[in-house]
Amino acid sequence: MAPSSPALRMRWTYALRERLSAYLPLLLMVALALVTWWLVKNSPRPLGDEAPAAQRSDPDYTMSGFTMERYDSQGRLKLRMDGTRMRHFPATDRIEIDEVRIRSIAADGRVTLAQARQAVANSDGSEVQLLGGAEVTSERSEGSPLWMRGEFLHAFLVTERIRSHLPVQLRVGSAEMQVAGLEYDHPAGRLDLKGPMRAVWPPGGVRR
């Protein structure tokens, strides 16, 4: 085959340049897109885009020989809570206390004592669920002794309320009762008992 003529080579070179000129913008756009994709893929992500960490279900700290005290604005003791061991759960900001003992002092000086094998409380101790051998000793508004015991007592120490949906052994003054549940509101002077119930009244006692 005869070698290509100079004129043919010039025409081929010209045609190649024309094609490159026509496709050059497209090639540049593809190259820019690839570079942008690479930068996005490999650049560090801002902290705000990170997925939130899963909440911990285990305690973040524990204490042995635990004691917590709360005071009012005048520096007077309002609450003391002791236990052999305490665990704090950050997911709910709750604490668990083993062998808990509570001493709560109302504004009028009335003292309420409570104890149980275990307690679940909020972080400031104003709400406490007493579990296992739960016992509360206090006074009613008219001054008569009040004692209750059960496997579950839910105490709201600030609002001075106690409730339970489980059986409770109850002593009000000199009368003793077994009830299926109760709700006690000290500020309102109200004690609601849930049946079935059994009561023992001393001779000459007055039923209220």
List the structure tokens of 44. 């560090």
Cβ contact 153:136 at 8 Å:
yes
Query: In terms of DSSP bridges, do strands 111-122 and 127-139 run parallel, antiparallel, or are they unpaired?
Result: antiparallel
- Beta-bridged to residue 16, according to DSSP, are none
CA distances from 92 to 37, 59, 87, 120, 156 (A): 42, 10, 12, 11, 18
pTM for this one? 0.68
End-to-end CA gap in the chain = 127
Task: For residue 22, give the H/E element and its range.
Answer: helix 6-42
pLDDT recorded at residue 49: 45
Listed as ranges, residues in the chain with pLDDT below 70 are 1-56, 141, 204-208
Q: Residue 27 corresponds to which amino acid?
A: L
pLDDT recorded at residue 15: 61
pLDDT recorded at residue 48: 47
